Amino acid sequence: MLQSGYDETTTGGKSSVVVPADRPPSHSFSIGRDPVRLRIVSSFVPLHTATELDVEVGRRVSAAGQRYTQNRQAVIRILSESDRPLTTAEVVKVGEGLAQSSVYRNLSVLEAAGAVIRIAGGDEFTRFELAEDLAGHHHHLICTDCGSVTDFTVPAKVEDRLESALASVATSAGFSPEHHRLDLVGRCSDCC
């Protein structure tokens, strides 16, 4: 996950956002003229250790009437170690020895248990990642050329401003929001 490198600059009343990929966390950035310390924050506390993650996913899989098998644990580990959502083929490739049919089936079971979600990419392939309450709140960069999907987070201040802007949209529509999803669609650095 891209947990850093977020710049917001204001030019001529228009807000533009630049998301460089290679910055370490806790860089400073600025909103208008005020320098702001970049903080990595999410609405949820991600589960950090493999054990915590396995206990929680195991609980969900059991609650769904399934067993948390070694292959399912392997799929969860692969997704948790990735910095972006993965296609079934990518999970198979990383998890040497896992059969494609079993990966496909296990992803469905994990999805039904609420441990994994599907992400629509910029191509025909469905991608999978850990549910947001397990991985932490984040957004996606979706490339319409190569289809790639990359995770990114924004500073808490930006999330707060997004939330309040979205809350007023929801209020005027009489809509009760639970959470938001925000993806940027365009071309990745490889395709520009």
- Residue 109 in contact with Zn ion, rule: CB under 5 A: no
Size of the site for Zn ion (CB under 5 A): 10
**N- to C-terminal Cα separation, the chain:** 21
In the list 92, 113, 116, 188, the residue contacting Zn ion (rule: CB under 5 A) is: 188
- Residue 18 in contact with Zn ion, rule: CB under 5 A: no
Beta carbon nearer to Zn ion, 71 or 147: 147
Asked if 1 and 137 touch (Cβ cutoff 8 Å), the reply is no
Task: Give the largest CA-CA distance in the chain.
Answer: 57
Beta carbon nearer to Zn ion, 67 or 81: 81
Choose the stretch contacting Zn ion; rule: CB under 5 A; options: 8-16, 18-26, 61-69, 123-131: 123-131
As a whole number of angstroms, the distance between CA 32 and CA 141 comes to 24
Choose the stretch contacting Zn ion; rule: CB under 5 A; options: 3-11, 52-60, 89-97, 149-157: 149-157
Q: Where are the beta strands (DSSP E) in the chain?
A: 7-11, 14-18, 28-31, 34-37, 86-87, 116-120, 126-130, 139-143, 149-152, 183-186
- Residue 191 in contact with Zn ion, rule: CB under 5 A: yes
Beta carbon nearer to Zn ion, 22 or 190: 190
Nearest CA to 57 among 45, 69, 42? 69
DSSP string, 88-111: HHHHHHHSTT--HHHHHHHHHHHH
- Residue 160 in contact with Zn ion, rule: CB under 5 A: no
Beta carbon nearer to Zn ion, 116 or 143: 143
Beta carbon nearer to Zn ion, 58 or 121: 121
- Residue 143 in contact with Zn ion, rule: CB under 5 A: yes
Residues that bind Zn ion (CB under 5 A): 129, 143, 145-146, 148, 151, 159, 188, 190-191
